[in-house]
């Protein structure tokens, strides 16, 4: 189980503090899927980066199965069981897809295992296994490979930031199927950041984040009916304050 208590993260913008994650608390039980949604620039990716240890929280605590992981760096959190797929994945020159998948899995993968992973994200292994993870791959290909690296091994918590972004409809359907399979196994906590209705519909719980704050948080049954009717009244210059 992941438990997040009063998490805050602020940045200094030209001498002014701005709170991007403002006292956020929530929990995700084993087997549960939380979908985080909300307007652009609301703080969803920043929250994901703080959870993964890419950004360091200014306050609050994160527990993974009773273990306080707040002080852990990115490697330590990954070892503790947090898997994270970036919104815009980084490229690695000199690394093949096959090598990257094996590194992500923590063991040398067979051809069949790599193939299964690539199929889950709609890629044909014959075309990709020996490709370099570099600038020759398109944005959508990189995105799908990044997701495959998170799917390469079980995690206690898997975080996917806008998995739908830049992915064609056919690959998206394959991916949804894989998320549903993991969800049915009821072992991992899944956190999906998304604006996509089909993904939001899969959730057990939905959290809406705006201006770094939780605007709605509850079961799908509670949050979904009002979700698509909400309007945001945000004005220029109103975003964010201090934590």
Ligand X SMILES: Nc1ncnc2c1ncn2[C@@H]1O[C@H](COP(=O)(O)OP(=O)(O)OP(=O)(O)O)[C@@H](O)[C@H]1O
> d(Cα 52, Cα 45) in Å, to the nearest integer?
10
Minimum CB–partner distance for residue 93 and ligand X (Å): 24
Which 3 state secondary structure label does DSSP give 42? Answer: coil
- Sheet harboring 213-219: ordered strands across? 82-85, 157-161, 189-193, 33-37, 205-210, 213-219
Which parts of this chain interact with ligand X (CB under 6 A)? 11, 13, 20, 40-46
Q: Give the angle subtended at the CA of 81 by the CAs of 79 and 87, to the nearest 5°.
A: 100
Any idea what DSSP says for residue 108? Answer: P
Of 87 and 96, the one with the shorter C-beta distance to ligand X is: 87
Strand ranges inside the chain, DSSP E = 2-13, 16-28, 33-37, 59-64, 67-68, 82-85, 157-161, 189-193, 205-210, 213-219
The helices-and-strands tally (H runs, E runs) of the chain is 9, 10
Of 3 and 195, the one with the shorter C-beta distance to ligand X is: 195
Minimum CB–partner distance for residue 194 and ligand X (Å): 9
- Quickly list DSSP for 144-185: HHHHHHHHTS--SEEEEESTTTT--HHHHHHHHHHHHHHHHH
Buried b (16+ CB within 10 A) or exposed e, 217-228: beebeebbeeee
Of 81 and 212, the one with the shorter C-beta distance to ligand X is: 212
Of 121 and 193, the one with the shorter C-beta distance to ligand X is: 193
Minimum CB–partner distance for residue 203 and ligand X (Å): 17
Of 35 and 109, the one with the shorter C-beta distance to ligand X is: 35
Minimum CB–partner distance for residue 75 and ligand X (Å): 20
Residue from 44, 66, 42 nearest 55 by CA: 44
Of 132 and 213, the one with the shorter C-beta distance to ligand X is: 213
Of 12 and 229, the one with the shorter C-beta distance to ligand X is: 12
């Amino acid at each position: 189980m992941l438990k997040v208590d009063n998490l805050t993260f602020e940045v200094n913008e030209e001498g002014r503090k701005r709170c991007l994650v403002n006292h956020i608390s929530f929990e995700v039980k084993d087997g549960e899927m939380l979908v985080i949604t909300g307007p652009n620039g609301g703080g969803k990716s920043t929250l994901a980066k703080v959870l993964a240890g890419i950004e360091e929280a200014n306050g609050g605590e994160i527990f993974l199965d009773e273990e306080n992981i707040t002080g852990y760096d990115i490697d330590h959190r990954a070892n503790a069981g947090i898997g994270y797929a970036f919104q815009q994945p980084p490229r690695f020159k000199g690394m093949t897809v096959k090598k990257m998948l094996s590194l992500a899995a923590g063991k040398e993968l067979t051809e069949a295992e790599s193939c299964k992973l690539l199929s889950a994200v709609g890629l044909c292994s014959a075309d990709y296994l020996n490709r370099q993870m570099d600038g020759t791959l398109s944005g959508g290909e990189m995105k799908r490979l990044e997701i495959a690296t998170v799917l390469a091994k079980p995690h206690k918590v898997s975080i996917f930031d806008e998995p739908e972004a830049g992915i064609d409809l056919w690959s998206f359907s394959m991916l949804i199927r894989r998320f549903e399979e993991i969800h049915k196994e009821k072992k991992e906590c899944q956190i999906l950041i998304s604006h996509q209705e089909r993904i939001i519909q899969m959730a057990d719980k939905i959290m809406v984040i705006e201006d770094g704050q939780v605007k709605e948080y509850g079961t799908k049954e509670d949050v979904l009916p009002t979700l698509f009717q909400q309007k945001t009244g945000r004005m220029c210059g109103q975003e964010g304050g201090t934590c």
